[in-house]
Chain A
Amino acid sequence: MTQITVRVDGQSYSDDVEPRTLLVHYLREQLGKVGTVVGCDTSNCGACTVHLDGEAVKSCTVLAVQADGGTVTTIEGIADGGTLHPMQKAFHDMHGLQCGFCTPGMIMASIDLVGDNPDPSEDEVREGIEGNLCRCTGYQNIVRAVQQAAAEMRGASTGAPSTTEAVAQS
């Protein structure tokens, strides 16, 4: 066992883990953060995407010991109290989910994408979330959701009114 200290969704944890424990299993089974799901277990589908030190990673392909001293944000840590993150809200508004299994990873990957590219074109969204698979094939509304959230997040960062812009974008 190896002791790790990691900050997850704003709270610090110190735990003993086996070196072979994957980050996703640590999050789900030791911390109870079951919002992050295991989809494919082969590093393809992106359902387990979380942010490690500010970057989107597939948490099934990172060892928990590698997060030692780091900061993890999961889907459970992005809402502001009762207020959804703009990306969560947009997925809700635009029906960016069908069965919902890919949604946590889609949202975390999309927030990462918009962080790098605040105004992605449709093609850029599709390229940007290529590491996330929606087995329902509901991509059309996922792309719309990401673009709406990007508009909202741009508005929030400039202080400009965002609602009209979001509607115009959609």
Chain B
Amino acid sequence: MIPAAFDYARPSTVEEALQVIAEGGDDVKVLAGGQSLIPVMRLRLAAPELVVDLTRIPELRGVREDGDALVVGAMTTHSDVLTDPLLARYGQLLVQATETVADRQVRHRGTFGGALAHADPAGDLPAVALALDAEFVLAGPSGRRTVPATEFFVDYLTTALEEGELLVEIRLPKLGEDWGVRYEKFNRVAQAWSIVAVAAAVRREGGRIAEARIGLTNMGSTPLRATATEQALLGADVSLEAVTAAAALAADGTSPSSDLNAQADYRQHLARVLTRRALAAATGL
């Protein structure tokens, strides 16, 4: 199908984009990589009056260091993520998850910021951002504000972005060599969405686990942290027994949906199994 007719704007700076959006009325959609928006528009599930295309705003693309943080521009494509030297060194969890996103054609166009702003609970990158306590920098008519990941994801396809605001960059902590990471994903066929997936990052000190961060994909209307598992791992030995016991708590407090791919209780089972696998891999067991 062909999308319904719309007006098209292609600003070249963030400032210009904000102005176009502000003047665009009530029915504006922001086009990042378009790999979710264009299909939705083709199906006429969305029929905006104005589409504001961010693909020609150079300041939104790329990765830089800022002290202990990596700053990823919202329009950095998935392919950029996979080839970026800073992310290769400090952002392996994001790299691993991004490798599993869709297929190479989609990864050439799709963007990190677009995937986060779309906030599909089956999308792979929100859980990574949540696990890493990413900070979201939003630009609006009255300036910029920073929103923590715990507040950014509000509900199904809903974020803290207000009308007229743009996600411009995402700040991630640099994970050094004392961290082990793993994105463990379960889906049925190539390029399918995650039925459940687990993003795990574990910092070791000696033979013990000093810190664990675990994000769950598609276990609710937003990405979730496996808090009970994280707490059980603090100070635990790096052993299969400890990891297995902690992973058994991964679905605690979740109420995932049932759909064609999986019933809720099966999703909870998957969360426990995938958490165990992710933790074992992240700790080198």
B269 at interface by CB-CB < 8 Å: no
Residue of A nearest to B38 (CB): A61
Instruction: Check B191 against A61 for contact (C-beta < 8 Å).
Output: no
A25 and B2 within 8 A (CB): yes
Cβ–Cβ < 8 Å partners of B42 in chain A: 22, 41-42, 60
Say yes or no: is B190 at the interface (Cβ < 8 Å to chain A): yes
Q: Does B102 contact A (CB under 8 A)?
A: yes
Q: Is A57 in contact with B102, judged by CB distance below 8 angstroms?
A: no
> Chain B contacts of A46 at CB under 8 A?
103, 105
Contact A113 B104 (CB under 8 A): yes
Q: Using a CB-CB cutoff of 8 Å, which residues 35-80 of chain B contact chain A?
A: 35, 38-39, 41-42, 51, 53, 55, 79
Given known contacts A20-B6, A62-B34, A66-B53, is B109 in contact with A130 (CB within 8 Å)? no
Distance between B110 CB and nearest chain A CB, rounded to angstroms: 9
Asked if B4 CB lies within 8 Å of chain A CBs, one says yes
B103–A131 touching, CB < 8 Å:
yes
* Contact bitstring A30-63, B, C-beta under 8 A = 1, else 0: 0000000000011110100100000111101111
A58 proximity list for chain B (CB < 8 A): 105-106
- Give every chain A residue within 8 A of B8 (Cβ-Cβ): 2, 19, 63, 65
Contact B104 A56 (CB under 8 A): yes
Indicate whether B7 reaches chain A with its CB closer than 8 angstroms: yes
Instruction: Indicate whether A131 sits within 8 Å of B4 (C-beta atoms), given known contacts A43-B39, A61-B38, A62-B38.
Output: no
User: Is there contact, CB below 8 Å, between A131 and B39?
Assistant: no
B55 touches A66 (CB 8 A): yes
Q: Is there contact, CB below 8 Å, between B108 and A56?
A: yes
Q: Of the candidates B7, B34, B102, B106, which one forms a contact with A19 in the assembled complex, judged by CB atoms under 8 Å apart?
A: B7
Q: How far is the CA of A142 from the CA of B7 in the complex (A)?
A: 41
Q: Which residues of A contact B53 (CB under 8 A)?
A: 63, 65-66
A132: chain B residues at CB < 8 Å are 103
Does A152 sit at the interface, judged by CB under 8 A? no
Q: How far is the CA of A65 from the CA of B34 in the complex (A)?
A: 13
User: How far in angstroms is the closest Cβ of chain B from A149?
Assistant: 17
Q: Is B1 an interface residue (CB 8 A)?
A: yes
From 72 to 118 in chain B, residues with beta carbon under 8 angstroms from any chain A beta carbon are 79, 102-106, 108-109
Once the chains are docked, how many angstroms separate the CA of A44 from the CA of B106?
A: 10
User: For window 92-123 of chain A, which residues contact chain B by CB distance below 8 Å?
Assistant: 109, 112-113
Contacts of B5 in A (CB 8 A): 18-20
Judged by a CB distance under 8 angstroms, whether B10 is at the interface is yes
- Residues 176 to 222 of chain B near chain A (Cβ within 8 Å): 190-191
Interface centre among B4, B104, B105 (most CB of A within 10 A): B105
Complex A-B: 20 CB contacts under 8 Å = A18-B5, A19-B7, A20-B3, A20-B6, A41-B1, A43-B35, A43-B106, A44-B191, A56-B104, A56-B108, A61-B34, A61-B106, A62-B38, A66-B34, A66-B53, A66-B55, A131-B102, A131-B103, A131-B191, A132-B103
Q: Other CB < 8 Å A-B pairs besides A57-B108, A61-B34, A128-B104, 12 of them?
A: A41-B1, A56-B104, A57-B105, A58-B105, A60-B42, A62-B38, A63-B8, A112-B105, A113-B104, A130-B103, A131-B103, A131-B104
Question: Contact residues of A with B, CB < 8 Å?
Answer: 2, 18-22, 25, 41-44, 46, 49, 55-58, 60-63, 65-66, 109, 112-113, 127-128, 130-132
